[in-house]
Amino acid sequence: MPRRARSLLFHLAPAARARQVTVAAAAAAAGGGAADPHGDVRRDAFVYAYFYGLCVHKLAHFFDVVHGTRHDFFMSEYRAHHAANWVALLCELGFDPARVAREHPALLWNVVN
């Protein structure tokens, strides 16, 4: 029997909504001028925090962590296991990890779907 390939599906709407808020805030800060709606998303900490939380969730389910009583425990274990690499990535990209954690705690410590 052939092995079935697994696919990862990413829900991009939260990142797109956050990007709209970021662009609107930048326009307001610029005195109502037009901000580039297609600016570099790689400079948006929300995008990194969102995908970190989402990938931790997907990775855990890849290894058959199921929803139920142990779900949150395993999600926390995966977060802890990858935390040092996550912080190193943020530092390498010029983000302040403590600020990202303060601004987006739900993405880092809650289940991201």
Q: In this structure, is residue 107 part of a structural domain?
A: yes
Q: In this structure, is residue 33 part of a structural domain?
A: no
Residue range 4-21, pLDDT digits in tens: 776 777 888 888 888 777
Chain-centre distance for alpha carbon 54: 6
Q: In this structure, is residue 58 part of a structural domain?
A: yes
Q: In this structure, is residue 82 part of a structural domain?
A: yes
Could you tell me the pTM of the whole model?
Answer: 0.71
Residue numbers of the domain that contains 108: 41-113
Provide mean pLDDT across the span 87-106: 91
Q: In this structure, is residue 24 part of a structural domain?
A: no
Percent of residues in the chain assigned helix, strand, coil, to nearest 5? 65, 0, 35
Structure tokens at 26: 């930048």
Provide mean pLDDT across the span 56-79: 76
**Predicted confidence (pLDDT) at residue 46 exceeds the cutoff of 70:** yes
**Tally of CB atoms within 10 A around 3:** 5
Provide mean pLDDT across the span 41-48: 83
Provide mean pLDDT across the span 28-38: 62
